[in-house]
Structure 1
């Protein structure tokens, strides 16, 4: 019995502190958490963040950014795979170096569709000293300011060369916002140009006589052409159809024409479109004039004289010399048009006749004297 009492006393003394600590009075003491919210004694405190997990989330956010290049993404995934130290180094050092290169590359690519002002700004930035903040500001702000300046210049040029609809829409865009100007250059200019092109096609149709081009214009305008189709017709197709009409016109002109007209027309048909246009403008008239001049020129007769000139009168024909015997009736001695040789022969014959008559007279006088 003595030993049992001693054991009970020892057990009571050992359990007394645990009972006091667990009692409601102790639990409700100052600074104690509310009932039911006591921290579990078997799990660690979750309010302390795990640095490696936070770094992983940070890297994932960096490589998800729109400006992140493929190289940035590759380097980020590698850092995550390599562990906490690699992730820390990526966040503190590597990402900034890669981002600097990414901005340089992105800004360089802007030159593909940049105007003169933006290209100048890009070259000035990249050729001088710059840091990440300067690159970011240029990419996010400055490039749009320079692009709008270029847009203003381009719109002013279009107003100076465009038709009424382009001028009106361009002036409206200049008074608007940068977005209005960008939209005009992207789509508005083409819609306005289409309106002007329709007017121009109608004017061409009214002034052109060829059936092929006129028929094509009517078919185009009565359909639903796009701005690009209208522009292509004006810049390319109309000239092809004009040339077809010109070929038909030249073929009609030379049909039954004179030699020079036929010759010039065939040369034009075998030549270029410009040759055919020139023939219709001036060449055909020059060829007709040559044919008319040849028709009006006198043609030689069978005996070598020009037909249509009188040969029975005493007047000499063109190119010939009519000779009349001295002391006779005046009839011409030679009218064959044989030239100076014939004239000399005729003159000699006349002289011989005169000499013969003198001798005959002298003989008669001698006979009369003898009879006396």
Structure 2
């Protein structure tokens, strides 16, 4: 019974090294993780795996593309053991880069244009491979689309200056992402500065006294002064000029009632009210006053002025202005010319008349001589004398020369005292007519 027990102890002693040593050999032959240094295993040059890992991590820290998370994790690993170094390189580096890349994706999303935002959102919702592809290529393609849209928007702005417009059109003609980005980052600021100075010069040329002074100061200063003038200074200076102009309008004695009231109301308001009065309200209230003035002219003017004024009031605003500028003067000149003409017309002279006395009585109206029917004949002096003798009852008595007409009440030689001048004149007209008839008949008999 003792022999079998001793044999079992001996067998156990013999088998123990065979069980233990093969396990150690297998452990020594198993492949080690890459970059993980074995316990105190060295090389011929004395460089350990820990030294290699440490150098690799320091290289990662020196890379400018390394993000915040990668740097922080790398610094923690360098402060730890060899196992910490190896753990960072195998696991921690990847996790930190994922975090940094997602942060970059959100940063780009926050500042990007419409196309970039859309691409960034898609990448952040996808896999890490999608995010890496967006950071390497996708963001630049999307940004080129946004750059083109931004340049087109700038060119469509009517306030865009000449320099910006020309260089922007040139960038669009090239069309590459680099050309578009170069315009927005380099050319645009430069051309914008030049165009802004040109704009200040234009405002100076057209502005009032206060605007001219402020614009000159801006052009003499820095570009920041130019920008400040365009954004704020020009409006403050223009408000000063507007106020001065409106005060002059209100003080002008030729300003109408409606215009003066509106001007005073504007002076009580702000800068926007001053500008609104000059740009929109002034023309309307002045036209109202112009129509009132034309109505007053129509009431007090002459016939031509009244006619022209009423015609202007029936027309549009241009007709009213035309009347006040030149129509009123022309119509007034017409009325003055009519007033200068003589008010009485001279009595028409007969084409054929008989011999009349050279003097007419001053206390009687002038009678127009009668005309005889054709043929016309002129009475001879002999016939007139015969008529005179007939009317003086054959006595031939006259008072004065043969050319002097007998005065009223001087027919004593005829025996008709107080007969009157009218009776004598009538008798003379009848006798003259008879003489003319006789002469006419004599001429026809001679012709026959």
Tell me whether the two structures share a fold, i.e. TM-score over 0.5.
Answer: yes
Unaligned runs of 5+ in 1: 19-26, 301-305, 307-316, 362-372
Residues 340 and 234 of structure 1: CA distance in aligned 2, closer, same or farther (over 3 Å): farther
SS at match of 1:184: helix
Matched, 1:325 2:355: yes
Which blocks of at least 5 consecutive residues in structure 2 are unaligned?
25-38, 43-47, 51-79, 395-448
- Measure, in 2, the Cα distance between the counterparts of 1:271 and 1:263: 13
Q: Is the 8 A contact 2:101 2:132 kept in 1?
A: no
CA-CA distance at 1:282 after TM superposition: 3.6
Q: How far does residue 127 in structure 1 lie from its aligned partner after superposition?
A: 1.5
- Tell which deviates more after alignment, 62-71 or 50-59: 50-59
Alignment partner, residue 123 of structure 1: 169
Superposition deviation, residue 58 in structure 1: 1.9
Whether 2:101 is the aligned partner of 1:58: answer: yes
Show CA shifts across 1:232-270 (max 9, x none): 312321121111111222222222433222111111212
Alpha-carbon distance change, 286 to 173 in structure 1, aligned in 2, over 3 angstroms:
same
1:236/1:349 CA distance change after superposition, 3 Å:
farther
- Match 1:335 to one of 366, 374, 378: 366
Q: Provide, for residues 304-328 of structure 1, a one-character-per-residue CA deviation record: whole Å limited to 9, x for no partner.
A: xx3xxxxxxxxxx5533596736x6
Using a 3 Å threshold, how does the CA distance of structure 1 residues 45 and 233 change in structure 2: closer, same or farther?
Answer: same
- Name 1:149's counterpart in structure 2: 194
Q: Where does 1:289-328 land on structure 2 (aligned, <5 Å)?
A: 289-299=333-343, 306=345, 317-320=346-349, 325=355
What's the CA shift for 1:148? 0.8
Local SS of the residue matching 2:255: coil
* Residues 324 and 330 in structure 1, CA contact (< 8 A), matched pair in contact too: no
Q: Report matched runs for 1:153-232 at 5 Å.
A: 153-207=198-252, 208-221=254-267, 223-226=268-271, 228-232=272-276
SS at structure 2 position matched to 1:95: helix
Match of 1:273 in 2: 317
Bigger Rg over Cα? 2
Match of 1:254 in 2: 298
Give 3-state SS (helix, strand or coil) of 1:45's partner. Answer: helix
For residue 71 of structure 1, what is the aligned residue in structure 2?
Answer: 115
Aligned 8 A contact 1:213 1:238 in 2 = yes
Q: Structure 1 length normalisation: TM-score?
A: 0.70
For 1:103, which of 137, 140, 147 is the aligned residue? 147
- Change in 2 beyond 3 A, CA 1:128/1:9: same
Q: Which residue of 1 aligns with 2:401?
A: none
